[in-house]
Amino acid sequence: MKSFACGDVVPGCAASWVSTTDDEILVLVAQHAATAHGITTVTDELVASITDRIVTVS
Facing residues of 17 across strands?
4
The pLDDT of residue 58: 82
Question: What pLDDT is stored for residue 25 in this prediction?
Answer: 97
H-helix or E-strand spanning residue 4: strand 2-5
> pLDDT 10s per residue in the chain (58 long)?
999 999 999 999 999 999 999 999 999 999 999 999 999 999 999 999 999 999 999 8
For 24-39, what is each residue's pLDDT tens digit? 999 999 999 999 999 9
Bin 51: left if φ > 0, else alpha if -120 < ψ < 50, else beta: alpha
Q: Which residues of 20-48 are buried (b: 16+ CB within 10 A; e: fewer)?
A: eeeeebbebbbebbeeeeeeeeeeeebee
- The residues that bridge with 51 in the sheet, in sequence order, are none
